[in-house]
Amino acid sequence: MCQDGGVEARGMPDEEVNGRRCPKCGAVIDHLDYWERAINTGEYWPDGFRDVTPSHVDEYYFLCPECGKVLFDNIEAAEKFLKGQPIKEDDICPEDY
Ligand SMILES: [Zn+2]
């Protein structure tokens, strides 16, 4: 027996509603982990370090919180990714660090 109401609703895939899919592990994620490497400078004396001051950030990376792999090394690509805008293959870091 046929049912009434023939309009078939086609839902969007979950990942497009709830978050972004990690290009490396496929997990659906709603944020990225952030990691930065800074160069800190100071002096090393016989009694230890002195005057160590944190300096500028040398490198920074955005990582998938699920697989821990580096996805981006520039904030523009990371922002685009989280906002669901198209990103280029070149924007994704090919290597893990
Ligand atoms: Zn991942």
User: Given this model, what pLDDT does residue 96 score?
Assistant: 62
For residue 57, the CA-to-ligand 1 centroid distance in Å is 24
Examine residue 54 and state whether it is found in any structural domain, yes or no.
Answer: yes
Q: Which residues pair with 85 in a beta bridge?
A: none
Examine residue 8 and state whether it is found in any structural domain, yes or no.
Answer: no
User: Given this model, what pLDDT does residue 18 score?
Assistant: 52
At residue 78 the predicted structure's pLDDT band, cuts being 50, 70 and 90, is very high
Structural domain that includes position 73: 33-88
Q: How many domains does the chain have?
A: 1
Identify whether the C-beta of residue 71 lies closer than 8 Å to the C-beta of residue 24: yes
For residue 13, the CA-to-ligand 1 centroid distance in Å is 18
Phi, psi of 43 (to 5 degrees): -125, 150
For residue 11, the CA-to-ligand 1 centroid distance in Å is 24
User: Given this model, what pLDDT does residue 39 score?
Assistant: 87
For residue 39, the CA-to-ligand 1 centroid distance in Å is 28
- What confidence tens digit (pLDDT) does each residue in 7-53 have? 444 444 544 555 689 999 999 999 999 999 888 899 999 999 999 98
- What confidence tens digit (pLDDT) does each residue in 60-73 have? 999 999 999 999 99
For residue 17, the CA-to-ligand 1 centroid distance in Å is 18
